[in-house]
Structure 1
Amino acid sequence: MVGLSAIAKRKLERTRSAEATTSSIQDDVDAEDIAINAFFVDSAIVEEQQDIESRSDTPRKTRKKSKATSSTTKLGDKSGSDSTEDVTQRRKRKQKAQHYDYNCVSNFGTSENTTLFDSESIYLGFDNHASLILAGKFRLQVLKGSLDIFGTTINASEVVHSVYAPTCYPLPTLSAGTDNPTTLEGVPPALAHNNAVVRLSELKDGLETLGNALPDFKNTFEAPYEGSYEGWNAVKGLYPILESTSNVYAYLLPPSWTSAANIARENSFRSAEPYIAIVKGWKNTGKSAFSRLLSNTLKNSHKKVAYLECDIGQSEFMPSGCVSLHLLDEYLLGPAFTHPRIPAKAHFIGDVSPVNDPSNYVDAIKDLIEHYHSHIAHSLSEDGDYTPIPLVINTQGWIKGLGAELLEGILAAAGTYNLVEMSAFVEQPSEEDNERKDDESTIKIDAIATAENPMLNRYHSADYRNLMMSTYFHSKIQENNLSWDFSLPLTHMVPLCVDYCDDLSYVSIIDGEDVALKHTLMALNATVVALVEGGENVDNNGELLRRDDLTTFKQSRVLGYGLIRAIDSNANQLQILTPLDVTLCRRVNVLMKGKVDLPVCSLIDWTDRDIDYANVPYITNEVAVGEGAQKRKVRKDIQRKAANN
C-alpha cells in the first residue's frame, strides 16, 4: 500500500478539518482553484522523503540521491551554460515529483452495509454523502436509483456501461444522483436501504495492454499504488482511491459547467426546432471535456445526440485530420481514445490545423451542418419519436485573427444556435440563471487552466495524438462491439489487399504538387490515408489515377483511416491495415493522403528486444541537410495587400 509521510498526513488532516467547516468545497473556492484541482507540492514533504530515501540502499534511491548531488555541483559552476545532461536530469526530476490532489480521496466506507464482494462482481451502495473515486476500467450497471459519474446522471436500467478511468486523465467520482424510484431485480438485500446501488464487473476489451505499443502510457490502466485492498481484486483492472495517492487527480466540475449543461438540456427539450450548442474557447481550457458533459446531459432528455467535431488537432472520435459528424446513442464515459467511432459523415482536411487551407476547412464544416439538418435533425426513431435531435459543435482552440474568421464561418453555417464560451472569470450561478429562456444565446462558463497544472504537463498534445492514432489502428470497430488487440505490433498484423487499379477510382495527395506522378506509390507507402466512399465515378482503364484537387464534399464521405503497410507493384496491390470491417471497406474507392503521420513507435517491431534501429525501414536518426531535406510547406491563407496606385 502506498504510504504518505508524516508531514503530508498532518497537513492533509489540517486541510480536511478546515474544509469540514464549509458546506461544500466548491462554495468557497474560485474558478482558478477548481481549475487546478487543488494540487500541491510541499517542500517540507519533499525534504522529508529525500531524507528517508538517503537512508535506503536500494539502487533506485541511490540514483536519486546522486542526481541531486550532481545537479547541485553543476549549478555552482557558472563557467558555461546548462548542458544537455542538466536539462535531461531536470526533466526526469520533474516527472518524478510527487503531487497530491486534496480532492482525489474517496469518502466511502467499505462495510457490509455498503459493499458486497462477489466472485466476479462488486456491489456498491451509496447514500447521499458517499463518494468513491476509481481508477482503471470496468463495466457499470445501476440497479437502484441513479448515479452521478463524470457529471452525468445515469438512471437504473438494464444497460451496462463501459467506464474508462486511465491515470493519465482525471479520475471519475461516483456518487448517488437525484431521487429515482426505479429498482431492478438483483439488488442485494443488505444494500437495499441505500439511495443508489450499482454493480461493477470486469471490462474485457484488451485496452489494458496498450503499453506494449505505447511505452509512455504503459501504466495508464495499472494500479497507481502498491498492494491492493481486500475484496476489490474481484474485478480485475479496478483500483479504488481510498486514501491519498500521489500523481492522480480527480475529475472536478466547476458549478458553471453543471448549470450551463442543465440550461442547455431544458432549452433543447422545450425547443420545437433542432437545438444547436457551439462550444468556444482557447486550447487547454476544457472544451472537449465540457462537450462530452453536454452530450451526456442532452442524452438524458434525448435518445440520440449529434456531435460535430471541428478540432482536427485533438479529435474526439477519430485520429487527427478530419472534421466529423457523429450520432451518439450512448454516454461518453472516458477520454477520446476509448470510444473511436465510424462517423455519420466526415471530411478529410489532412492536417492537425486548418491554417494552411482555411477555406476548405470551413466548406467541409458547412457541408456537415447541412447533412445534419437534412438527414439527422428530424430523423424518425425506431419507436416513432419525432423529437428533434440536438447538435453539439466542438470548435478548434483558435479564436484570434484567422481563427476568429473561421469561427464566424461556423457560426454563420449553424444558423440559430446557443454559444457556450469558456471564460476566465464567471460569476457563480444563481437560481435565476437556471430559469434562462431560449432567447439568451450565449452562456459563459469557467475555463479550466490545464496548462497551469503541473500534473497535466506529463503529456503534451502530440502525445495524445499519438495515443489516439496507435489505439485506433489496434482497435476493432464493429457495431455494438469495440475491442483492442495489442498482442502483436502493426508490422505483424495481416493486411487487407486492395487492387489499386480495379478497386480504386483514384488517389489524392493533399499539397502533392512536388510529388511526381511516377512517385505516387512511393509517396503512399508506409503512410496513413483516409478511406473515402463516393466521389465521382471514374473509368480509370485499369490504371492508377491521381487527383490532388479533390473537394467533392457533397458526394464523398470518409469512413475511417488506413495504414498502407506495403505495396506490390507487380500485382497492383496495396496492403492496408484498418480497424474497419471488411464489409465497410468494400465501399471505399478513394484514398487520400495528407500530413497525418503514424507515431514512430508504431513503425517498429517492439517484440524484438535486439532490434537494430539503424536498419529499421523509414526511420533514421540522421539529420538531413540541403535542398529537399525538409517538407515544403504551402500556405493557402496568405492575404496580400493591394498595390497602392
Structure 2
Amino acid sequence: MSALAARRAAVAARKADEKNQLCLKESALPTAAESTQNSEDYSVSEQEALLPSPKRRRTKNQEPRETNSRHFSKFPNSTVNISQPQAIIKDKISRTLLSEPAIENDLSGLDALMSDSDEDTAEDNYGEDEGRADERITPCSMPPISAGYSGHASPKYATPTVSIEVTSTFQPQENVNFFKLSEEKLSRTGIKYGNGPGVIFSLGRDESLAVAGIFTITPLQGALTLYHTTISPSSIQPSHPVFAPTSHPLPIISPSNFEGDLPPSIAINNINYPPSFQRKEKRILFLITENHCGLDGMRFGAIPGFTNIWLGEEDSWGLKGVYPVVKSSPTPVYPYVPAPSWTTALSTASSPSLDSEESFIALVKGPKRSGKSTFARALLNRLLAIYEKVCWLECDLGQGEFSCGGIAGLWIIENHLFGPPFTHPAVPMKAFYLGTYTPMACPDEYMAAIQSLLEHYRYEIQYPLSSSSSSSKITNRIPLIINTQGWIKGLGEDLLRAVENLAEPNRVFAFKQESPEGDERSGWSNSPQWKNSQLPYDPSYPAGMTDGIEKEKKVFELEQAPTLPLQARYTPADLRVLSIITYFHSTLPPSSSISNLSWDLTSPLLTIPPYKVSLSPTGPLSKAFLIGEGSEGVLEEDLGLALNGAVVALVEIIAEEEEDGKNILYRPGRKPLACDCLGLAFIRGLSPSTTGYDLHLLTPLPPTSLSRATAIIKNGLIELPLPGLLDWRRGGVTEDGMVGRCWDEVPFLDITRTEVIAGERRRWRRNIGRKGM
C-alpha cells in the first residue's frame, strides 16, 4: 500500500471512530500511526495523516481500488477490523444505494455531468480522476428523499440537492374513489383511446396522485393538472398519452384551479358506476388505461441501465405498466416539482389576448441542467391551450427534444407532450444535420442553419395560409418556442447572443446562473459583467444601420429546477444513448404528429429487416457527403469503408448543382448542398455495385419521408452506441462470440484490446482552468 493510501486509510478510520461512536475496546483499536505501520514499507505519523494529501499521478504500481471513489468504501484489511453494532448495521441496510439500473450501468467509462456545451468532450472523464461521492439515499417509501450532492463530480462543482416529498395524498378506497373497468365494459362506453382495462379515479380538491409507467389519461369531469398543464374533457383530443419513467420526475395529478364551467365528457353517462362511488360535481373524474406502444419492451435489456425504469409488468390494480404511487415504490422515485417562479412566468407570459396580432416568440436560455427543456415543454403545453399549433425551434445539438442529437430543426406540434424527449421523436418540418453534439467545431455552419430556420418560420410557418374559423383556439398565427443550448460561456455565449439577436423574441425566459461557492481564491473576485448599450437612434441613418436595435421584450427570470440525488443516476451521455437506441427501434408517423408512435424493443437491431437502397449517381440516393474533422482525407475508393456501420442523415437536396458535379457520387472535401434533413439511418452493411453501392439501411422514417431522400451525410462524431450493435437477448453474447459467429467475424466490434499509442481514453485536467472560462 502506498503512503497516500495509508494516510487516507488512517483518516478514514479516525473519522469513523468519531462519527459512528462504535463500542470498541481500547486494546483492539490501534492508533492511526500504528495502523499505518502494518501497510507495506511506509509509515506516517498521526500529524501527517491529518494533513491534506496532494494530488498525485496514477501509477501502475498503485493497488486496485474496489470503487471509483477517491476514498475507500471500507477500511483496508491491513489497518483495522471493526465489528459494528447491530443498530449501525440496520441503519446502513435502510440506506440503500440508488437502484438496480444505476448499478447495472457501467459508470466507470461513461461521461460525468456533461451537457451540450464546449465542455462536452472535456467532461467525459471529469469525476473519474476526482472520484465520485458515496451517495446513499432513502428509497421513496413516502415521504422523504434525503439530500446530498448530485452527480458524479466532486462536491466542489456539484449542485446542492434538496429534499422533496412525493406529494401523493390520495387514499384509495375501491368502489368509493376508484373502481376498475374490464376491457369489455370499457369498450361499451364508447371510449376508443387506450388499450386493455382501465381504472376511473375520483379526486377531491385537496387530493393528488403520483403515477408511474406508460398510460393514457382521459378527463371525464372537471379539469386536472399534470406537468404544469391543465387538461379537461374535450371532443377534439379526449385522451392524452403519458410517459412517466422512474428515471425522470413523475407527474402529480391534481385538480386544477380553473373555476369556469366545463362540460363533462360525453362518455361519462355511459359508464356503470358502483353505488358508493363519489362522483359529485366538485370532484375530478378521470380514466387511466393501458398504453401498448411497445416502449415498455426496454425491460428486455435493449439499453443497459434503463431496464427497470418502467418497473414490473403489472400492478396490483390490474393495469399493465401503470403504477399509482400511493404508499411505497419498489424503486426510488421523485416528483415533478417546479420552482414557484415557473408558475408565475407561465401564467403571465402565455396568456395573449385573442384579439392581439402580436406574434408570440419565446426564447428559453440558461446553464446546463437548469430545467430549460422541462420548462419549454410546459410552455408548449400551455400555448396549445390557446393556439391550435405551436412551432418548436431546436438549437440544442446535444439533447434535442424531438431528435437524438446533432440536428437543428423546426417541428410543428399539435398535441400535448407528457413525457421526456425519448418518448416523442418526430419528423421535422425543416432541419439541418450538423452531426455533432456541440457547435464548438462548426460555429459558422451552426449559425447559418439557425438563420435559415428562422427565415423559414417567418415566411412559411408564422402566418398559415389556411386557418379554421370554427375553432375556439387561435389559428391565424403560430407561436414559436426556441430551445437553446446550455453552453453559456466563451464562444457559447457569443452564439447564444447571436441566436437571440436573429430571433428577436418578445418573451425571454432566463434561468439564473448559480456560481459554485468557495471557488474564488483569496484576493480574487469574479470577472465583471459586460453590459451592452445601444447608441441613440438617428432617423437619418441608412436603412440597414438600425437593424440591431432590440425590440421591446419581456424578460422573466426563473429559478433553476431543484436537483435531487436520484438525478445523478443518469448523465446526459446516458440519456443520449437512450435517445438514439429508442429512435432506431421506433416507427414514426408520416407527419410531425406524436399521437401514433410505436416501438419494438423485443429484439435487437440486428434482427430487424433493413431497407435495400442504391447509392449511385443514377439511384434514389445520388450523393454522399462527409463532414467533420478529417473528412477531407477520405478518398473516393475508401468511401465504402467510411460508410459501413455509420450513422448517416437522410436528406433531400433542394438546390441545383453545377453541371460538372451532377454525375459524381462523392468528391473529397465537397461541402453538402442546400438540403433538408429528414431523419437518421444506420448503414448495417453495404456491397459494391457497378455504379456505386447497395446500402442496407435501418431507419424509423415512414415510406413517405424515405421517398424524398436523395442523399446522405455522415459525420463521424455521432455513432451507434455499443448496445445497438449487440445481441442483448439471453445467451446472445458469449465469450466465444455472438449469433453463432466468433468475435473475429462479428462486424464493427473488436475485443482484442490491442495496445496502441494514444489508444486510451483522454483525460482532462480540470484544476488548471481559469474560473469563468
Normalised by the shorter chain, which TM-score bucket? 0.7 to 0.9
Matches within 5 A, 1:182-331: 182-187=263-268, 188=271, 190-193=277-280, 194-211=282-299, 212-223=301-312, 228-229=315-316, 232-233=317-318, 235-245=319-329, 246-267=331-352, 271-331=356-416
Residue aligning to 1:603: 725
Distance 1:548 1:328, change over 3 A: farther
**Separation in structure 1 between the aligned mates of residue 288 and residue 511 of structure 2, nearest angstrom:** 35
CA distance in 1, matches of 2:665, 2:278: 66
Task: Name the one with the larger helix percent.
Answer: 1
- Candidates 134, 139, 142, aligned match of 2:211: 134
| Larger-Rg structure | 2
Is residue 2:411 matched to residue 1:411?
no
TM-score, normalized by length of structure 1? 0.78
Q: Which residue of 1 aligns with 2:540?
A: none
Q: What does residue 568 of structure 2 align with?
A: 457
In structure 1, how many angstroms separate the alpha carbons of the residues matched to 2:597 and 2:468?
A: 26
SS at match of 1:467: helix
Structure 1 residue aligned with 2:622:
505
Aligned to 1:446: 559
Q: Cα deviation per residue 1:14-49 (whole Å; 9 max; x = unaligned)?
A: xxxxxxxxxxxxxxxxxxxxxxxxxxxxx9xxx9xx
Contact 2:338-2:562 within 8 A present in 1 as well: no
The answer to whether the Cα contact below 8 Å between 2:215 and 2:288 also exists between their aligned partners in 1 is yes
Q: Structure 1 residues 295 and 269 mapped into 2: Cα distance closer, same or farther (>3 Å)? A: farther
CA deviations 1:323-363 (Å, max 9, x no partner) are 11111000010000000000011101110000001111011
- Assess, with a 3 A threshold, how the Cα gap between structure 1 residues 93 and 131 changes in structure 2: closer, same or farther: closer
Give the C-alpha shift of residue 622 in structure 1.
4.7
1:550 paired to 2:550: no
State how 1:624-643 maps to structure 2 within 5 Å: none
1:558-606 CA-to-partner distances (Å, cap 9, x unmatched) read 1110000100113631111100112320110110011111110101122
Question: Are residue 108 (structure 1) and residue 170 (structure 2) matched?
Answer: yes
Structure 1 gap segments, 5+ residues each: 1-42, 48-72, 426-437, 633-645
Distance 1:77 1:620, change over 3 A: farther
- 1:574 counterpart SS class: strand
Q: Equivalents in 1 of 2:645, 2:417: separation in Å? A: 32
Distance 1:521 1:273 in 2: 52
- State whether structure 2 residue 653 is matched by structure 1 residue 534: yes
Structure 1 match to 2:638: 519
Closer, same or farther: CA 466–383 of 1 in aligned 2, 3 Å:
same
Find the counterpart in structure 1 of residue 489 from structure 2: 400
Which of 593, 596, 600 is 1:481 aligned to?
596
The reply on whether 1:619 has 2:713 as its aligned counterpart is no
Report Cα offsets for 1:403-446 as digits up to 9, x if no partner.
11101110111124321000158xxxxxxxxxxxx955211011
Q: 1:146 aligns with which of 204, 223, 233?
A: 223
Q: Write the deviation string for residues 246-286 of structure 1: whole angstroms up to 9, x where unpaired.
A: 51101101111111112221247564132111001001111
Judged with a 3 Å threshold, the aligned counterparts in structure 2 of structure 1 residues 416 and 251 are, in CA distance, closer, same or farther, namely closer
Q: Which runs of 4+ in 1 moved over 6 A?
A: 539-542, 627-632
Shift of 1:623: 4.8
Query: In 2 relative to 1, CA 630–528 (structure 1 residues): closer, same or farther, beyond 3 Å?
Result: farther
In 1, the alpha carbon distance for the partners of 2:288 and 2:466 equals: 31
CA contact (8 A) 1:268 1:274 kept: no
Name the amino acid aligned to 2:289.
S
C-alpha contact (below 8 Å) 2:467/2:475 kept by paired residues = no
d(CA) in 2 for partners of 1:603 and 1:442?
46
Q: 2-side partners of 1:388 and 1:115: how far apart?
A: 42
Mapped contact 1:278–1:419 kept (Cα < 8 A):
yes
**1:573-592 aligned within 5 A:** 573-592=694-713
Please, which of 327, 331, 338 is the counterpart of residue 423 of structure 2?
338
- Alpha-carbon shift at residue 381 of structure 1 (Å): 4.8
> How many angstroms apart in 1 are the aligned matches of 2:412 and 2:707?
22
Instruction: Note if contact 1:380-1:386 (Cα within 8 Å) is conserved in structure 2.
Output: no
Q: 1:172 aligns with which of 248, 251, 269?
A: 251
In structure 2, give the amino acid aligned to 1:458: R
1:359 equivalenced with 2:444 (yes/no): yes
Deviation at 1:609, TM superposition (A): 3.0
1:373 aligns with 2:461: no
What's the secondary structure of 1:478's corresponding residue?
coil
1:630 to 1:584, Cα distance in 2 relative to 1, 3 A: farther
Q: 2:609 aligns with which of 494, 505, 515?
A: 494
Instruction: Mark the CA change 1:631 to 1:325 in structure 2 (over 3 Å): closer, same or farther.
Output: farther
Residue identity opposite 1:598 in structure 2: L
Local SS of the residue matching 2:351: helix
The offset of 1:478, in angstroms, is 1.3
- Report the CA distance between 1:488 and its aligned residue: 1.9
Offset, 1:83: 2.2
The answer for unaligned runs of 5 or more in structure 2 is 1-15, 21-34, 43-60, 75-95, 104-135, 146-163, 183-196, 515-550, 738-742, 763-773
Aligned length: 542
Q: Deviation per CA, 1:506-539, whole angstroms, max 9, x where unpaired?
A: 1111121122221111111111101101243457
Residue 162 of structure 1 contacts residue 333 of structure 1 at CA under 8 Å; is this kept in 2? yes
Change in CA separation of 1:350 and 1:541 when aligned onto 2, cut-off 3 Å = closer
Judged with a 3 Å threshold, the aligned counterparts in structure 2 of structure 1 residues 546 and 482 are, in CA distance, closer, same or farther, namely farther
Moved more, 378-387 or 567-576: 378-387
The code of the aligned residue for 2:642 comes to A
Tell whether the 8 Å contact from 2:653 to 2:676 is kept in structure 1 after alignment: yes
Q: Is the 8 A contact 1:145 1:183 kept in 2?
A: yes
Q: 1:449 to 1:117 in 2, by over 3 A?
A: closer
CA contact (8 A) 2:391 2:410 kept: yes
Please identify, of 412-421 and 561-570, the stretch whose mean Cα deviation from structure 2 is larger: 412-421
**TM-score, normalization by structure 2:** 0.66
